[in-house]
Chains A and B, each alone.
Chain A
Amino acid sequence: DTGVSQDPRHKITKRGQNVTFRCDPISEHNRLYWYRQTLGQGPEFLTYFQNEAQLEKSRLLSDRFSAERPKGSFSTLEIQRTEQGDSAMYLCASSLSPSQFFGPGTRLTVL
């Protein structure tokens, strides 16, 4: 499968714990995006990378969130000291052109 992959697909954690998600984009795509989606809403932009450079972060991305793309390939999104409000689907997308291709998402549940 040469699409965007995300790991894990589901994560249940207790409030206050740290979690890390991984995204593997389509191999030749230099742009990588993270979104958050809650029930009844469309994906909300969190941050994006061009190669290894993080070019923009949304105001939604509090100091507890950090994203990296160390070698311009896969990316990680870490949430520290999780809160119940962080419960959502976290989506990754990659692109080479204006069209984005999405991964299956990681569903986070914070108890």
Chain B
Amino acid sequence: AQSVSQHNHHVILSEAASLELGCNYSYGGTVNLFWYVQYPGQHLQLLLKYFSGDPLVKGIKGFEAEFIKSKFSFNLRKPSVQWSDTAEYFCAASEPRTSGTYKYIFGTGTRLKVLA
């Protein structure tokens, strides 16, 4: 079955530490991959996306993610986190349907806390 796995449920880091959040997906064919962020009290916002091309994608706020097809992974990274990055991060995958629409599957999320 199609699924998205996020293995880190809670991560605590100090400011300036480097971040890597894992995401693995199970899809057989063409897949689009996303990272969303949800800051406390706010709605889900798109951080970055991968459709095709360069497997290293850069998003907003200094985040980047690398698509590694052989590992079915799309890990999120940031070289130096800030207190304001405290949020919940969701990885998502979608596959195109014959109807022309997309069905999305989300991971369970990783709650990141950055200590000042």
Contacts and interface: CB of A to CB of B under 8 A. Distances in A.
B69 interface: no
A48 B103 contact: yes
Nearest to B95: A98
B49 A50 contact: no
A40 to B, nearest CB: 7
Contacts of B109: 40-42
Interface in A30-51: 31, 33, 35, 40-45, 48, 50
Contacts of B43: 91, 102-105
Contacts of B42: 104
B46 interface: yes
A75 interface: no
Counting chain B CB atoms within 10 Å of each CB, the highest count among A35, A50, A102, A105 belongs to A102
Interface residues of A, number: 24
B105 A98 contact: no
22 contacts: A33-B104, A40-B109, A41-B108, A41-B109, A42-B4, A42-B106, A42-B108, A42-B109, A43-B106, A44-B106, A48-B101, A50-B99, A50-B100, A55-B97, A56-B97, A56-B99, A56-B101, A98-B49, A99-B49, A100-B104, A102-B43, A105-B43
